[in-house]
């Protein structure tokens, strides 16, 4: 066992060992090495072959590393202590210890061949597995990266430190994988994958374009989600995914198939597509994703966010509008550039929906407006608008970030309410 109690000064030995190792590496050689079979013999003697050994004797893992030895020879690149690392990782650190201290670092060395076996246990360029081909639930990391991911349907979801305990991830079972393939892993499972929190709980979700959409109890069976593999995913990843929405432009339908309506996502809102627009606007050429009906109904009811700049997706009309309180307000070219909307993304939306939004007489009550004619901020109220003062803004009050710049013609037509 490295740095055992037989050594008089751990710090002195550590310094000497590191200097020895540095000198060895500097000349490009390896002082000593041993095959995996020989390391197995050492482990059999040191820990009865238990590579996760943690008996409380101050030494850890199959080769009984002290915490200081593990740290001194770079073990923290793999795990905080030897018993938490894989067998391969422990052997790699043991190779460095062997090069620095020689076989005498282990009391069990005699008779194992550690002093005569000079085989490299792992090739300089080992052939690591492609992580995307490993079973779901496998923990992986690359040899040159301290990050850990869990494989879910071919994707690699990042595992945060806060996930390890609650999610019951066993870091001693991490598989070292190909470095390039590890970095190339998608961080979201394929759309349609059913997931739950690895830490537990009854909630189930379906992944659609990286977002985790909730599935109700009725939808679980009625929509056939219960027939799909149910994957446990890291808690931290799921928290982010449940706060996400499918990307703008994604075309959706109710997974149940009981509703023939089709929708397109724009800034988190599901906008209805008419039958004519389905083909005329090219929506039929996009991938159609089924989503839980309860989530879809909420997305349809959600107003398109203020300050979203839109135009008819058909291209037949180049008029540009800005959304304020659910109303699509027409912008002249001077408005479009003068108010800075030319710097915002321009979203194509179904013309039928746009016509309805543009026909509204006023933004919804509670919308904050300002127009170029003066600096007054207006609050829309029932029957008109009300002027706000600087005292109305601040913590716990209105925010200037919510104020929508609109043409003077709109604010002028709204009656002022005292």
Q: Are residues 289 and 331 in the same domain?
A: no
- Nearest to residue 393, comparing CAs of 409, 406, 415, 377? 377
Q: Are residues 319 and 354 in the same domain?
A: yes
Q: Are residues 377 and 411 in the same domain?
A: yes
Q: How confident is the model at residue 413 (pLDDT cuts 50, 70, 90)?
A: very high
Residue 14 has pLDDT above 70, yes or no: no
Q: What is the average pLDDT across 399-409?
A: 96
Residue 388 backbone phi and psi in degrees, to 5: -105, 155
C-alpha dihedral sign at 67, 68, 73, 75: positive
Residue 121 has pLDDT above 90, yes or no: no
Separation between Cα atoms, residue 260 and residue 359, nearest integer Å: 26
Q: Could you report the per-residue pLDDT of 347-392, keeping only the tens digit for each?
A: 999 999 999 999 999 999 999 999 998 889 999 999 999 999 999 9
Domain membership of residue 125 (yes or no) is no
Domain membership of residue 276 (yes or no) is yes
CB atoms within 10 A of CB 252: 24
Residue 200 has pLDDT above 50, yes or no: yes
- CATH number, residue 92: 1.10.530.10
Residue 40 has pLDDT above 80, yes or no: yes
Number of compact structural domains in the chain: 4
Domain membership of residue 5 (yes or no) is no
Domain membership of residue 203 (yes or no) is yes
Own/partner contacts of 162-170, CB < 8 Å, gap of 24 or more, are 162/235, 162/236, 163/198, 163/199, 163/234, 163/235, 163/236, 166/198, 166/199, 166/235, 167/198, 167/199, 167/232, 167/234, 167/235, 168/198, 168/199, 169/139, 169/198, 170/139
Q: Are residues 216 and 263 in the same domain?
A: no
Q: Are residues 313 and 415 in the same domain?
A: yes
Helix H or strand E segment including 326: none
Q: Are 321 and 354 in contact (CB under 8 A)?
A: yes
Q: State percent of the chain over pLDDT 90.
A: 75
Q: Are residues 279 and 344 in the same domain?
A: no
Q: Are residues 312 and 395 in the same domain?
A: yes
Q: Could you report the per-residue pLDDT of 96-112, keeping only the tens digit for each?
A: 899 888 888 898 889 88
Q: Are residues 223 and 287 in the same domain?
A: no
Burial of 268 (0-12, 13-18, 19+ CB in 10 A): middle
Domain membership of residue 113 (yes or no) is no
CB atoms within 10 A of CB 263: 23
- Which pLDDT score, from 0 to 100, does residue 31 have? 39
Q: Which domain holds residue 198?
A: 131-242
Domain membership of residue 112 (yes or no) is no
Q: Could you report the per-residue pLDDT of 245-292, keeping only the tens digit for each?
A: 999 999 999 999 898 999 999 999 999 999 999 999 999 999 999 999
- Which pLDDT score, from 0 to 100, does residue 34 have? 87
Separation between Cα atoms, residue 133 and residue 233, nearest integer Å: 17
Q: Cα separations (Å) of 148 from 85, 176, 244? A: 12, 10, 23
Q: Are residues 191 and 264 in the same domain?
A: no
Separation between Cα atoms, residue 157 and residue 135, nearest integer Å: 13
- Both tokens assigned to 37: 């079979």
Residue 316 has pLDDT above 90, yes or no: no
Q: What is the average pLDDT across 6-30?
A: 33
Q: Are residues 15 and 28 in the same domain?
A: yes
Helix (H/G/I), strand (E/B), else coil: 335: helix
Give the domain-ending residue among 276, 302, 328.
Answer: 302
Separation between Cα atoms, residue 96 and residue 75, nearest integer Å: 10
- Which pLDDT score, from 0 to 100, does residue 172 have? 87
The structure tokens 């690895």 sit at: 198
Q: Are residues 369 and 318 in the same domain?
A: yes
Helix (H/G/I), strand (E/B), else coil: 251: strand
Separation between Cα atoms, residue 90 and residue 106, nearest integer Å: 14
Q: Are 218 and 258 in contact (CB under 8 A)?
A: no
Give the domain-ending residue among 285, 302, 319.
Answer: 302
Q: Are residues 227 and 318 in the same domain?
A: no
CB atoms within 10 A of CB 210: 17
Domain membership of residue 116 (yes or no) is no
Q: What is the average pLDDT across 48-72?
A: 94
Domain membership of residue 404 (yes or no) is yes
- The beta strand positions in 147-284, using DSSP E, are 149-152, 155-158, 175-177, 194-197, 204-208, 211-215, 230-233, 251-254, 262-266, 269-273
Q: How confident is the model at residue 415 (pLDDT cuts 50, 70, 90)?
A: very high
Give the domain-ending residue among 242, 260, 285.
Answer: 242
């Amino acid at each position: 066992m490295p740095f055992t109690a037989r050594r008089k000064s751990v710090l002195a030995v550590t310094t000497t060992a590191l200097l020895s190792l540095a000198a060895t590496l500097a000349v490009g050689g390896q002082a000593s090495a041993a095959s995996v079979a020989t390391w197995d013999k050492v482990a059999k003697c040191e820990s009865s072959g238990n590579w996760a050994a943690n008996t409380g004797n101050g030494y850890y893992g199959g080769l009984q590393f002290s915490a200081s030895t593990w740290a001194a020879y770079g073990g923290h690149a793999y795990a905080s202590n030897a018993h938490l690392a894989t067998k391969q990782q422990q052997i790699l650190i043991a190779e460095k210890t062997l090069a620095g201290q020689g076989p005498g670092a282990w009391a069990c060395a005699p008779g194992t061949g550690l002093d005569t076996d000079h085989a490299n246990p792992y090739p300089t360029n080992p052939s690591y597995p492609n992580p995307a081909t490993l079973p779901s639930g496998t923990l992986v990391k690359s040899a040159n990266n301290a990050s850990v991911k869990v494989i879910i349907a071919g994707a690699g979801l990042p595992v945060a430190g806060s996930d390890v305990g609650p999610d019951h991830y066993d870091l001693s079972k991490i598989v070292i994988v190909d470095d390039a393939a590890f970095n190339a892993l998608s961080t979201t499972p394929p759309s349609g994958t059913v997931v739950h929190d690895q830490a537990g709980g009854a909630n189930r979700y379906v992944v659609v374009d990286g977002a985790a959409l909730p599935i109700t109890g009725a939808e679980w069976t009625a929509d056939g989600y219960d027939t799909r593999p149910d994957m446990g995913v890291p808690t931290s990843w799921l928290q982010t995914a449940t706060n996400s929405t499918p990307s703008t432009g994604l075309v959706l339908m109710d997974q149940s198939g009981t509703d023939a309506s089709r929708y397109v996502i724009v800034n988190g809102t599901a906008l209805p597509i008419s039958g004519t627009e389905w083909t005329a606007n090219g929506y039929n050429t996009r991938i159609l994703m089924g989503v839980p009906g309860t989530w879809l109904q909420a997305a349809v009811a959600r107003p398109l966010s203020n300050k979203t700049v839109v135009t008819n997706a058909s291209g037949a009309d180049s008029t540009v509008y800005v959304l304020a309180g659910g109303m699509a307000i027409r912008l002249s070219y001077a408005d479009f550039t003068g108010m800075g909307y030319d710097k915002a993304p321009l979203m194509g939306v179904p013309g039928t929906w746009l016509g309805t939004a543009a026909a509204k007489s006023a933004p919804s009550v509670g919308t904050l407006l300002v127009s170029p004619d003066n600096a007054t901020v207006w609050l829309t109220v029932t029957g008109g608008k009300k002027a706000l003062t600087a005292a109305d803004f601040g913590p716990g009050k209105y925010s200037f970030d919510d104020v929508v710049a609109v043409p003077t013609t709109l604010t002028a037509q709204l009656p002022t309410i005292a």
